Amino acid sequence: MIFISDVHYQIEYLNSLPENKGPIVILGDLINWIDYRDGQGIAMDVFGKDNVKKLINLRKEHKFDERKSLWRELYKTDPDKVAKKMQSAIYKQYEDVFDVLKKYEVWFIPGNVDDVDIMNTYLSSSVKNVDGLLVEFDNKKIIAALTIKDEKDVKKYELFSDVADIYLFDSKGYEKSIAFDHSLIEKIKIKKPLMVAGNIQVNDNLENLRKIADIIDISGGLETSGIKDKSKIDIFLNKIEHLKNEN
């Protein structure tokens, strides 16, 4: 079994995956909206290199209001044309990615920028959307992944009490990277490991998270412009060490 996080349309790496190693589990973001290293991606295909460069610089400068205004202006220029170009670019990336993945057994969970409806058009006997499903493989531990918006979503964990080894509570972040209200899971009583994800950042209060969860998924929170940031990793590890020393 091979786990991959954040494909971002890196076809050359997908082509290098070994075969016959069990299912390939993909944890979201198959397409590339903007590569903040060089600007490549769907946004550049639709809005052009110069506009994407401006968007990247505004993000680096933390000028988020100006960035939002620029996005609005770009979309308003010719909405119908923009929509057609964007749809074409999105479909092309998914087509290319699944053209490679179809030769493997693939289990995927959609990411923050993924379009679930489009991804589901590529489902087959070997390509499966396992978001929210319980999947057992070779007697490994089973994680029940639940996306949370409100208390009704939280209560769904009871459906998996007989089979889940670990419960993962995540945000409904298909359209954009968002968090969810962690207080929603503070009062539930689970005698199994509880995992929390959903836009967790390195500067969040880990002490509060430790009170409600046994495991946290902070992968994206250790990145800067889509790349793992050593300084953030060091900060996170130091925080963990500090918490351990307090016990």
- Find the mean pLDDT for residues 37-65: 93
The rounded distance, in Å, linking the Cα atoms of 152 and 89 is 36
* Residue linked to tokens 């670990």: 166
The predicted pLDDT at position 19 comes to: 81
DSSP state of 111: -
Residues 116/174, Cβ–Cβ less than 8 Å: yes
Q: What's the mean per-residue pLDDT of the chain?
A: 87
pLDDT digit string (tens) for 10-30? 999 898 888 877 889 998 789
pTM: 0.60
Annotate 35-101 with DSSP letters as a single string: -TTT--SHHHHHH-HHHHHHHHHHHHTT-HHHHHHHHHHHHHS-HHHHHHHHHHHHHHHHHHHHHHH
Residue 103 pLDDT > 80, yes or no?
yes
